[in-house]
Structure 1
Amino acid sequence: MKKTIINPKYIYLLATLIGFTACNEIDDVLADNNMQEKMLPELTSGTADFSNYVSIGASFTAGFTDNALFINSQINSFPNILANQFANAGGGDFTQPLMSDNFGGLAAGGARITEPRLVFNGSGPAGLESLIGPVTVSTDIVLNKPTGPFNNMGIPGAKSFHLLSDSYGDLAGVGSYANPYFVRIASSSSATVIEDAMAQSPTFFTLSEIGGNDVLGYALSGGDGQDRKGDFDVSSYGVNDITDPTIFGNVFNGLVTNLTSGGAKGVVTNVPYITDLAHFTTVPHNPIPLDAATAGYLNSVAAYGAYNAGIVDAFAYLVANTPMTQEMADAEILKRTITFEASTTNSVVIMDESLTDLTALNPRLISMRQATENDLFVLPASTFIGTEAVPGNAQTVNGVAIPLADKWVLTPEEQEEIKNATDAYNAIISTTADTNDNIALVDLNAMLKELASTGITYGDYNLNASLVTGGAISLDGVHLTARGYSYMAFKFLEAIDNNFGSNFIDSGNIPNPGDYPTNYSHTLQ
């Protein structure tokens, strides 16, 4: 069936004309006034078969937003948005493992294991309970597991190799090797994500953001390789090392081979540069206000003055007794010298393991320096910087008297590790897509870069990657808003049209961005 769209600006004029031409047919009026209807072509699915669509991926696929998964976020997940359009082209039912409430969070046997969603408190992101008081997290992975199969197999926190793990859905492993979101929906304790997906015999699939968590866990931990799920919950359990690209390549190509083995077509995405996300770009490197007296004390020999002098002496020794040159020493002395001034923009002090280890010469010369604009801070650092390690003791201020640990900051060296791994993953993904006619590619990396740099125009809206105000990135600084997910769905439809001969875009079968919010109220239950 063809769609008919009349430009809204003509509606009032049309009504007026009809009033003056009661004896004429409406088509005559339109023709007489050169306002012919704009006819859109009939929707065609091209060579794709959408009758049984299955989505596989991680948190973006699940609809994770505002640091949680909840009913409305799942309804507004990009796969569900896609399925709504596929329904117009022969698509079947799309079943999601809906949570039990709109609070977010998970419980296991009545004990809470992940927290409710974030909300906007008027100044920034805050926990839901800080506005409405205690809530009962009713989605329990032990007491009320839903029954599958599920078309949406998005597992928040899943790394590439987790999709092949036969222990990832084992309840006994929650907190270590298993993922509670998959425990909740797995067909058995030994099922794998890809097995449960393939058991549904998909005719079309999306394989999205595979590889994202393979670097995201490392980034969220500030590059220290330790799990920080207590500070930011993406259910990324265990040590957060970056996945080796060779392992990633074997896993990714195995997943694609499985998914296309029955002739299904699908869309994959590459991995964005996650350091462009608001979670890593919101906290400034220089947020410390100091008056003249405090700055003077910090610069004195009673504080960092002695440290600075010790650094100079240590490098003088190294120049005299090792192959280190004076030029090398001067560069590191400059980098490590810590000074403060009377201003509102003093840089925080951080630990940096890339610096030369001087503790063998002097145990007090730990590897610390002041941050620069090239360092990136994780979002939770905003509530930690400036606090007192010993309450009431002004000489224990975190980020000033006490350097920030590695988990709070991504140094340029750590950022480079993330970029190198991301580039390696994306080269593998691109090659796979280029050499397989059944695969289309959505450039998620380019999409995020555009959001982070110039922003994008989407319908009547402007979206960018700023926290709270940008419209695309949710309150956790990593995952998308509902409107962001609808834009992602639009890019999928665009790729499907370009690769498989469908015409979702031209036929007007696309999401309406105005139907998807950028913020969920704290009153949503």
Structure 2
Amino acid sequence: MKKLSYIAIAALGLIACEPEFDNTISDNQATFTAGDADFSKFVSIGNSLTSGFADGALYIHGQENSFPNILAGQFSLVGGGDFTQPLMNDNIGGLLIGGSPVLADPNNPATNQFPPRLVLNGQSSPVWVNGASTTETTTVLSGPFNNMGVPGAKSFHLVAPTDPNNPASGYGNPGGLVAGTANPYYVRFASSPSATVFGDALAQNPTFFSLWIGNNDILSFATSGGVGVDQNAAGNMNAATYGSNDISHSNVVAGSIQNMINGLTAAGTNDVKGVVCNIPSVTDIPYFTTVPYNAIPMDQATADATNSSYSGYNLILGGLAQATVISSQEAAARMVSFSAGQNPALIVDETLTDIKPQLEANGVPEPLAELLKKLRPATPEDLLVLPSRTVLGTLADDNNPASVIGVGVPLEDKYVLIPSEQNAIATAQNQYNASISAIAAANNNVVLVDMASHLNTLNTSGISYNGGTLFSTYATGGAFSLDGVHPTAQGYAVIANKIIDVVNAEFNANIPMVNPGEYTSIFFE
């Protein structure tokens, strides 16, 4: 069995890099107006979605098509000023620290933590673009920069001060790169090693701002397959103790956003106005909707042989249910049965009862008992993350043909979001959004942009502009880039249009929208 592919390469040929649509922008600029807002100094604060991150990397083309840069172009028609960004050195993407890639495993270049961008080259899965990264993290750029989007940033990262007892703890301090306390993207353009992202933004005295933060406070938990701590459930509001994949407590997110809104709109700052965006459902993005739960194809002969190998396991489950070691419902959920056609992948579910001692007591060898101790078939309620497509159907042990991942060896926990993990994510998202809505409603100078409902439309009817329609489908939908998380330039244009629509309605402005058809989608090598 070989690794599985879910990209219809033939269909991709229908997606040109720059499809043609009718132009939506009127030539009559005399009718354009800023209304009640002042766009002369526009500053945008956020994370990777603000920076223009796409295809698994930050690179010049993506930055030039970030939604803030698109907005700035439209704002320039109504008095908006220059808009600067901390541009990367190339269109390769990736980062160097001390001239070398950052490897999780020094002996394996495939573990590059900041790899080049992804492209399609006709193979079943995206590949890194040819070329070497040239952006050196420790070469600090001279700012200030209007685009204050920092990939990887969580809400509290934007306002976290340097620990006076640990000067290297600053989020933009090069001395914290090795320890992991600094963000390499922010290191490149922080005004000083002790600066904060929000402080650098505020120091520019913006007249108008956008703030979109909070996605990463749940996203890293989701993309890791739920390998992290739900700090809402734990009741922990000490962000300094959080792991990289934890769900941030809703009060931490709300407090960070409230502090930034208060600072930006404080009295004496020339009646600053702005927009704050809420958090879309992270589990609706292609990263979680592309690989089906029933990703294992089998013919009848293979299914019969596999079922025979699991017959003893199924018998033990029945006995454990009779002995009330596990419930009858759990036993039924864990039963393995394959048939001709598409079959559920076998997965690890950490919420199941650990039955390793009982398996060993029934004569199952320890290595096999370890594999079976929390195994069950996936269901339609489980979400398999996008990277699982590269491991399903491959061998866990090249010397053991029975070690097919998803069949003879369960798919690891990090590749699957089970329902309880999805519920924790949804609960946090709802709490974050309730706070964001309340914060916006309490400030007359700030309006809410409902990105949650807007981007959800991509999953249903799609978003149409002048004869073209964008969907959230991986690779072929046009809206999401090849990392399955971040938009394409067309997707960022859709985001910019939503913000313009809200600005026009709430600030009595008349700013033209852009034509998503004039922007790029996915890239071929």
TM range (shorter): 0.7 to 0.9
Q: Using the alignment, how far apart are the partners of 1:283 and 1:427 within structure 2?
A: 31
Query: In 1, distance between residues paired with 2:513 and 2:463?
Result: 17
Structure 2 equivalent of residue 30 of structure 1 = none
Which residue in 1 is equivalent to 2:257? 252
Corresponding residue of 2:207: 203
RMSD, aligned CA: 2.0
Kindly provide the amino acid, as one letter, of the partner of residue 194 in structure 1. F
User: Distance in 2 between the 1:239 and 1:39 partners?
Assistant: 50
- Deviation of 1:192 after TM superposition, in Å, equals 0.6
CA shift digits 1:51-98 (9 cap, x unpaired)? 111000011100001111111111110000100111111111101011
**Contact preservation (8 Å) 1:458, 1:487:** no
1:368 corresponding residue in structure 2 = 375
| Aligned partner of 2:323 among 314, 317, 321 | 317
User: What SS does the aligned partner of 2:192 have?
Assistant: coil
Partner of residue 152, structure 1: 147
CA distance in 2, matches of 1:151, 1:390: 50
Whether 1:138 and 2:113 are equivalent positions in the alignment is no
Q: Which amino acid aligns with 1:218?
A: F
Per-residue deviation at 1:371? 0.5
Q: CA deviation at 1:125?
A: 4.4
CA deviation after TM superposition for structure 1 residue 124, in Å: 4.9
Match of 2:185 among 181, 202, 220: 181
- Find the aligned partners of 2:251 and 2:322 in 1 and give their Cα distance: 43
Give ranges in structure 2 of 5+ residues lacking alignment: 1-21, 103-113, 163-169, 230-241, 361-368
More RCO (CA 8 Å, sep 6+): 2
Q: Separation in 2 of the partners of 1:190 and 1:387?
A: 47
How far off its partner does 1:123 sit?
A: 4.9
Deviations 1:110-152 (A, max 9, x none): 11131000012235542234xx4xx22111112x332111000
Whether the 8 Å contact between 2:29 and 2:77 is mirrored in structure 1 is no
- After superposition, residues 311-460 of structure 1 pair within 5 angstroms as 311-318=317-324, 329-343=327-341, 345-363=342-360, 364=369, 366-460=373-467
Match of 2:517 among 501, 514, 521: 514
The alignment partner of 1:395 has SS state of: coil
1:16 corresponding residue in structure 2: none
Which residue of structure 2 lines up, in the alignment, with residue 120 of structure 1? 120
The answer to whether the 8 A contact 1:125-1:476 is kept is: no
Return the TM-score normalized by structure 1. Answer: 0.84
The CA distance in 2 between the partners of 1:121 and 1:136, in whole Å, is 17
What is the 5 A alignment of 1:3-402?
A: 42-113=31-102, 114-129=114-129, 132=130, 135-142=131-138, 144-165=139-160, 166=162, 167-174=170-177, 176-208=180-212, 210-225=213-228, 238-261=243-266, 262=269, 263-300=271-308, 303-318=309-324, 329-343=327-341, 345-363=342-360, 364=369, 366-402=373-409
Q: Distance in 2 between matches of 1:293 and 1:306?
A: 19
Identity of aligned residues (%): 47
* 1:209-243, Cα deviation, whole Å (9 max, x unpaired): x11000100000000129xxxxxxxxxx9530100
Matches of 2:51 and 2:292 in 1, distance apart?
31
Structure of higher CA gyration radius: 1
Question: 1:369-401 deviations in whole A, cap 9, x for unaligned?
Answer: 000111111111001101101114211111111
* Amino acid in the other structure paired with 2:148: M
Checking the alignment, whether the CA contact within 8 Å between 1:273 and 1:419 is kept in structure 2 is yes
Using a 3 Å threshold, how does the CA distance of structure 1 residues 215 and 38 change in structure 2: closer, same or farther?
Answer: closer
1: CA distance, partners of 2:67 / 2:312: 56
Q: Which position in structure 1 is the counterpart of 2:472?
A: 465
Partner of 1:499: 506
Distance in 2, Cα, partners of 1:278 & 1:338: 28
Matches of 1:404 and 1:128, distance apart in 2: 25
> Structure 1 residue 156: deviation in Å?
0.7
CA-to-aligned-CA distance 1:454-490 (integer Å, 9 cap, x gap):
1111233101000111011111111001011011111
Amino acid of the structure 2 residue aligned with 1:288: I
Question: 1:45·1:501 contact (CA, 8 Å) conserved in 2?
Answer: yes
- Distance in 1 of aligned mates of 2:176 and 2:359: 44
